[in-house]
Amino acid sequence: MAVIEWEKSETVAVIRMNNTANKQNLVFADTMNKVFDEILEDTGIFSIVLTSSDEKNFSQGIDVEWLGQCFNDKDFDSIKQFMFGMNTVFKRLLTMPVPVIAAINGHAFGNGAILSCACDFRFMKADRGFFCFPEVDLGIPFLPGMIAFVRKAIPEYKFNEMKLSGRRVGAQELMENHIIEQASQDQAELMDHAMGFAKSFQKKRGILGEHKRRMHKAILETMEAEDPRFIEALDLFVQD
């Protein structure tokens, strides 16, 4: 089974992350970008649902074990390729000419939560799974671009609390704070809600893509202007 696969359901492309915890590494970034290329070739697709095939996890974020091995091996090129590759994933989600709906079916930690924030809409099941930014406890600062696009998904007062505390938050609290569209009771209801919402979109790609490019212009400029210097310097951890 591929790390990431997709299938078409009527007018919806359903992307499934298949690597259990769905930790993000260079293969993950490269595969996601290839999946986007394939989906965009089909002009009959008008929305995307991004989810996971694992019962417990949406995505637990960066593959820290892989990252640590790269540092030990002094394979800095792979780390940079991964960081730039994930930034490409985020930018493509922000400018995708179809709406992208995250169906968060389990834990969304760190870069997994960030990935969902780059999507246009979020649904989450309430019976299992937490959403959090543990980077404050791991010594990992957000890139400036991440801060910018997470703010379009999470109200500032809540982002401030979640980012600085690292506290785990459930689906009901996320819905009450307008971070997700719906807290679904279980997996079946989650996919019903996400797919029903996705199938309600029949917008022309040109105008929808242009709306997103103009809406996120400042975010994209931050990602282009500020993120590369942190990535090139491998300024990814704070020790004290």
- Judge whether residue 238 has pLDDT over 70: no
- Judge whether residue 51 has pLDDT over 80: yes
- Judge whether residue 90 has pLDDT over 70: yes
Domains and CATH numbers, the chain: 4-199 (3.90.226.10)
- Judge whether residue 237 has pLDDT over 80: no
CA angle 136, 172, 62 (to 5 degrees): 35
pLDDT tens-digit series, residues 66-75: 999 999 999 9
Q: What is the pLDDT of residue 48?
A: 98
Cα separation, 173 vs 180, whole angstroms: 9
Q: What is the pLDDT of residue 240?
A: 62
Strands (E), the chain: 4-9, 12-17, 47-52, 57-59, 100-104, 107-109, 121-125, 131-132, 182-184
- Judge whether residue 239 has pLDDT over 70: no
pLDDT tens-digit series, residues 123-170: 999 998 999 999 999 888 999 999 999 999 999 999 999 999 999 999
Cα separation, 155 vs 69, whole angstroms: 36
Q: What is the pLDDT of residue 1?
A: 75
